[in-house]
C-alpha cells in the first residue's frame, strides 16, 4: 500500500527536474531511499552483532545475519539503479575513478565476503562470534561511503542531504519522505519474513535431532 502510494507520488505528484535530467530524475527517489535502507540494514546487522557479543544470544546472531542479508539485497538494488542513473546523467554505466561508486562497491563486496566467512566455518559459537566481529568492522565503512558522496570531484554526484538539511523542498521532499518510509517498511517486512523462516528452520532442525 505504502509502496503503491510512493509510486503514485513519484510519477504523478513530483515535478520534473529543472536541469537537463528532467524526467530521469525520478530514479533518485528510489535510488536514495534504497541506499539509506541498505545502510540501515547494515547498521542493524552491526547492532545485533554487538548484542550477540555482549549477551551471547544466538538469536541476536541470526538477526544480525538476516539484517546483513537484507542489506545486501538493497545494496544490489542501489548498484543497479545507480548504474542506470549514471548512464543517463554521465553517459557511462560505471566510472572506476569515482570514489563514491568504488567505495560503495567495496562496502558491498565486504558484506558479500561476510557470507563466505560465515559459511566456511561450522555452525556453532565460533561461527557466531567471528561473524559478529566481522559485521562490527563493516559498519565503519558506512560513514566512509556516505562521506565519499560529498568528496566526489570530477563527476557531480547529487548531494541530497547537507549539514543544513535536505537539498530540496515542497513536493519533492514529501515524495522523498513517502518513498523512504515505504522502503524502510518494505525492508522491515522482508526482514521479519526471513527471520521467521530462519527461526522456524532452526526449531525444526532441533526437533528432527530429538526425534532421530
Nearer to other proteins, 164 or 208 (CB): 208
Nearer to other proteins, 27 or 181 (CB): 27
Backbone angles phi, psi at 161, to 5 degrees: -120, 130
Q: Compute the least distance from the CB of residue 96 to other proteins, in Å.
A: 21
Nearer to other proteins, 122 or 209 (CB): 209
Instruction: For residue 32, give Cα distances in angstroms to 39, 43, 106, 174, 183.
Output: 11, 16, 18, 14, 10
Taking the CA atoms of residue 183, residue 189, residue 190 and residue 195 in that order, the dihedral angle to the nearest 10 degrees is: 140
**DSSP letter, residue 92:** -
Candidates 8, 13, 80, 174; binder of other proteins (CB under 8 A) is 80
Any contact of residue 26 with other proteins (CB under 8 A)?
yes
Distance CA 98, CA 210 (A): 55
Output the 3-class SS for 7-30.
HHHHHHHCCCCCCCCHHHHHHHHH
Any contact of residue 106 with other proteins (CB under 8 A)?
no
Q: Going residue by residue from 50 to 79, which x/- string records binding to other proteins, judged by CB under 8 A?
A: -----------------------x--xx--
DSSP letters for 121-164 = S-TTHHHHHHHHHHHHHHTTHHHHHHHHHHH--SS-----EETT
Nearer to other proteins, 81 or 175 (CB): 81
Nearer to other proteins, 13 or 204 (CB): 204
Q: Going residue by residue from 127 to 166, which x/- string records binding to other proteins, judged by CB under 8 A?
A: ----------------------------------------
Binding site for other proteins (CB under 8 A): 7, 21-24, 26-27, 30-31, 34, 73, 76-77, 80-81, 84-85, 87-88, 186, 190, 193-194, 197, 200-201, 204, 207-208, 211
Amino acid at each position: 500500500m505504502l509502496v503503491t502510494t510512493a509510486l503514485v507520488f513519484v510519477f504523478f505528484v513530483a515535478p520534473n527536474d529543472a536541469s537537463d535530467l528532467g524526467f530521469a530524475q525520478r530514479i533518485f527517489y528510489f535510488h536514495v531511499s534504497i541506499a539509506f535502507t541498505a545502510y540501515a540494514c547494515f547498521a542493524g546487522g552491526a547492532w545485533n552483532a554487538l548484542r550477540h557479543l555482549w549477551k551471547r544470544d544466538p538469536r541476536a546472531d541470526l538477526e544480525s545475519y538476516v539484517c546483513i542479508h537484507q542489506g545486501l539485497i538493497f545494496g544490489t538494488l542501489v548498484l543497479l539503479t545507480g548504474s542506470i542513473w549514471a548512464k543517463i546523467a554521465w553517459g557511462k554505466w560505471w566510472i572506476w575513478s569515482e570514489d563514491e561508486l568504488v567505495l560503495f562497491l567495496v562496502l558491498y563486496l565486504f558484506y558479500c565476503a561476510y557470507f563466505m566467512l560465515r559459511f566456511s566455518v561450522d555452525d556453532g559459537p565460533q561461527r557466531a562470534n567471528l561473524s559478529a566481529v566481522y559485521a562490527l568492522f563493516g559498519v565503519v565503512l558506512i560513514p566512509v561511503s556516505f562521506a565519499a558522496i560529498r568528496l566526489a570531484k570530477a563527476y557531480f554526484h547529487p548531494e541530497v542531504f547537507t549539514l543544513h538539511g535536505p537539498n530540496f523542498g515542497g513536493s519533492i521532499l514529501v515524495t522523498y519522505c513517502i518513498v523512504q518510509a515505504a522502503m524502510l517498511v518494505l525492508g522491515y517486512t522482508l526482514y521479519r519474513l526471513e527471520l521467521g523462516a530462519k527461526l522456524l528452520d532452526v526449531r525444526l532442525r532441533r526437533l528432527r535431532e530429538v526425534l532421530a
